[in-house]
């Protein structure tokens, strides 16, 4: 793969903190992987509590929308990395007919994406049986990870708007690139509901994990397990994505409160487990010292486990953000030797159900109180590992984790709306 192709690939890749991963295309880019030795996105950690505690950072709430929520919901916005606006759809009246639904999505190149598409189609069919939607789900799904661009997605999105849809479900390749198109669609009355990635438009309703807490909570737990002592390696994701920058800050903030946890190096795993494994192997070959914690920023836990297993070195506590069936199986295998760590769970089926439900609630006149709906992460520990580990899963399993706790169930979502739509 030549350098110009790699540069284009880097601008096209997208990831969420728990599952929309980069295509393996990036493994062929010389600059997409490799040990991190500096750069313009260096982040200094800011301690705001004791070692092993999650920092408290006020969210960006320019419209006071978060402050207007119930106190129990406000906790989920601790350190939320992007502005949270009031929703333009707060006073939207209920649609007086079945809705026409559009679906703008990324290539189905991993288990999470496949689950999202399958569940969205199932949710549409259920809504149609209940008289909430009409016709067919109008899709604009990009097909080639190697050539996709934000401009391509925006063209498809605008085609959906022009086809007369009432609502568009999307995961944007670039949330910032989508703002103008979403604003224009919103002024025409078209609702946009984004999953995993934030679109900073008052006309978008974003349904997403809190990328900061998703990393900070399990990292803080592992720091506590280590009594704040030991050597740490960080495996970064695809740099330039907002979720990666936010997750990296979360790690640095947790470490800043633990002066005896020494950061001895960073590698770039690009949110691709095989890349994370390859880069860790390079790092390990020149770093013989014991590693006590490996903080990876999402979905690369299986690659981290594989790297240490192949070298025969003791596996550190892998912070399993965005756990997979594979990474949990590796974790379970090590438990017989007293291994303990922490991670976060969730899967595409759960997220897509919540995502679709939010859109239907908006169209039924529910009145969203806030433009971004988030949650506190589902933290996986030794105590609840069995709730997330699929039966029969092995370290080579490519599947998702089990449901574990509910991910934004209906009763939780209802708290974000002014009126009941039940």
The reported pTM is 0.88
Query: Does the structure show a pLDDT above 60 at 201?
Result: yes
Q: How far apart are CA 81 and CA 66, in angstroms?
A: 13
Binning pLDDT at 50, 70 and 90, where does residue 41 land? low
- Per-residue pLDDT, 349: 95
Q: What is the mean pLDDT of residues 333-348?
A: 95
Q: What is the mean pLDDT of residues 106-132?
A: 93
3-class DSSP assignment, residue 297: coil
Are residues 284 and 309 in contact, defined by beta-carbon separation less than 8 angstroms?
A: no
Are residues 270 and 22 in contact, defined by beta-carbon separation less than 8 angstroms?
A: yes
Query: Does the structure show a pLDDT above 90 at 39?
Result: no
Query: Does the structure show a pLDDT above 70 at 178?
Result: yes
Q: Which residue has the higher pLDDT, 9 or 288?
A: 288
Query: Does the structure show a pLDDT above 60 at 28?
Result: no
- Per-residue pLDDT, 9: 41
- Per-residue pLDDT, 242: 81
Q: Which residue has the higher pLDDT, 47 or 99?
A: 99
CB-count exposure of residue 398 (10 Å: 0-12, 13-18, 19+): exposed
The Cβ-side half-sphere exposure at 75, using a 13 Å CA radius, reads 6
Long-range contacts of 275-279 (CB under 8 A, 24+ apart): 275/24, 275/26, 275/27, 275/32, 275/33, 275/303, 276/235, 276/300, 276/303, 276/304, 276/307, 277/303, 277/304, 277/306, 277/307, 277/310, 278/27, 278/33, 279/33, 279/34, 279/35, 279/235
Binning pLDDT at 50, 70 and 90, where does residue 229 land? very high
- Per-residue pLDDT, 145: 82
CA distances from 354 to 86, 160, 225, 373, 419 (A): 20, 22, 33, 10, 17
Strand pairing of 230-236 and 261-268?
parallel
Q: What is the mean pLDDT of residues 138-155?
A: 93
Q: How far apart are CA 368 and CA 349, in angstroms?
A: 23
Strand pairing of 261-268 and 34-35?
antiparallel
- Per-residue pLDDT, 40: 39
Binning pLDDT at 50, 70 and 90, where does residue 86 land? very high
Q: What is the pLDDT of residues 292-332, one digit of tens each?
A: 999 999 999 999 999 999 999 999 999 999 999 999 999 99
In what order do the strands lie in the sheet containing 317-320?
34-35, 261-268, 230-236, 293-296, 317-320, 343-345, 378-380
Domains and CATH numbers, the chain: 85-208+347-376+407-416 (3.40.50.2300), 211-345 (3.40.50.2300)
Binning pLDDT at 50, 70 and 90, where does residue 47 land? low
Question: How many Cβ atoms are within 10 Å of 336's Cβ, its own excluded?
Answer: 7
- Per-residue pLDDT, 45: 76
Q: How far apart are CA 288 and CA 285, in angstroms?
A: 7
Question: How many Cβ atoms are within 10 Å of 139's Cβ, its own excluded?
Answer: 16
Report which of 309, 251, 252, 247 is spatially closest to residue 277, judged by C-alpha positions.
309
Q: How far apart are CA 419 and CA 368, in angstroms?
A: 9
- Per-residue pLDDT, 38: 36
- Per-residue pLDDT, 4: 42
- Per-residue pLDDT, 42: 60
3-class DSSP assignment, residue 156: helix
3-class DSSP assignment, residue 8: helix
Of the listed ranges 12-21, 145-154, 184-193, the one predicted with least confidence: 12-21
Q: What is the mean pLDDT of residues 145-155?
A: 92
DSSP H or E run through 303:
helix 301-311
Q: Which residue has the higher pLDDT, 43 or 294?
A: 294
- Per-residue pLDDT, 85: 97
Report which of 186, 143, 194 is spatially closest to residue 165, judged by C-alpha positions.
186
Strand pairing of 101-105 and 138-141?
parallel
Binning pLDDT at 50, 70 and 90, where does residue 241 land? confident
Binning pLDDT at 50, 70 and 90, where does residue 34 land? very low
Query: Nearest 5 degrees, angle CA 82-CA 367-CA 97?
Result: 125
The alpha carbon of residue 4 and the mean position of all alpha carbons in its chain are separated, in whole angstroms, by 28
Q: What is the pLDDT of residues 370-412, one digit of tens each?
A: 999 999 999 999 999 999 999 999 999 988 999 999 999 999 9
Which DSSP letter does residue 33 get?
S
Which DSSP letter does residue 19 get?
S
């Amino acid at each position: 793969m030549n350098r110009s192709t790699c540069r284009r690939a880097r601008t096209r890749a997208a990831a969420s903190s728990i599952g929309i991963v980069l295509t393996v295309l990036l493994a062929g880019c010389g600059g997409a992987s490799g040990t991190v030795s500096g750069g313009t996105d260096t982040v200094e950690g800011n301690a705001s509590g004791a070692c092993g505690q999650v920092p408290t950072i006020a969210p960006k709430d320019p419209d006071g929308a978060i402050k207007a929520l119930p106190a129990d919901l406000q906790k989920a916005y601790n350190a939320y990395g992007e502005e949270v606006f009031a929703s333009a759809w707060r006073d939207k009246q209920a649609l007086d007919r079945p809705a026409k639904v559009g679906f703008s999505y990324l290539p189905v190149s991993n288990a999470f994406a496949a689950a999202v598409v399958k569940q969205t189609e199932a949710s549409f069919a259920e809504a149609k049986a209940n008289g909430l939607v009409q016709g067919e789900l109008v899709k604009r799904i990009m097909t080639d990870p190697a050539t996709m661009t934000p401009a391509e997605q925006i063209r498809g999105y605008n085609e959906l708007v022009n086809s007369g849809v009432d609502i568009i479900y999307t995961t944007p390749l670039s949330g910032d690139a989508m703002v103008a198109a979403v604003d224009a669609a919103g002024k025409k009355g078209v609702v946009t509901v984004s999953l995993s990635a934030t679109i900073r438009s008052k006309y978008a309703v974003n349904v997403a994990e809190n990328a900061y807490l998703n990393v900070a909570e399990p990292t803080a737990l592992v720091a506590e397990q280590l009594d704040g002592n030991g050597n740490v390696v960080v495996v970064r994701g695809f740099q330039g994505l907002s979720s990666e920058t936010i997750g990296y800050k979360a790690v640095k903030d947790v470490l800043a409160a633990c002066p005896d946890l020494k950061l001895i190096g960073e590698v770039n795993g690009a949110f691709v487990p095989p890349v994370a494994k390859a880069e860790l192997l390079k790092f390990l070959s020149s770093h013989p010292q014991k590693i006590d914690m490996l903080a990876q920023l999402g979905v690369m836990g299986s690659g981290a486990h594989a790297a240490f297993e192949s070298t025969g070195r003791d596996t550190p506590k892998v912070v399993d953000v965005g756990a997979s069936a594979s990474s949990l199986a590796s974790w379970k295998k090590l438990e017989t030797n007293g291994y303990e760590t922490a991670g976060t769970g969730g899967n595409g089926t759960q997220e897509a159900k919540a995502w679709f439900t939010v859109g239907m609630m908006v169209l039924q006149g529910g009145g969203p109180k806030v433009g971004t709906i988030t949650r506190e992460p589902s933290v996986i520990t030794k105590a609840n590992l069995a709730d997330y580990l699929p039966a029969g899963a092995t370290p080579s399993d490519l599947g998702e984790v089990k449901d574990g706790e509910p991910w934004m169930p209906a009763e939780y979502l209802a708290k974000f709306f002014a009126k009941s739509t039940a």
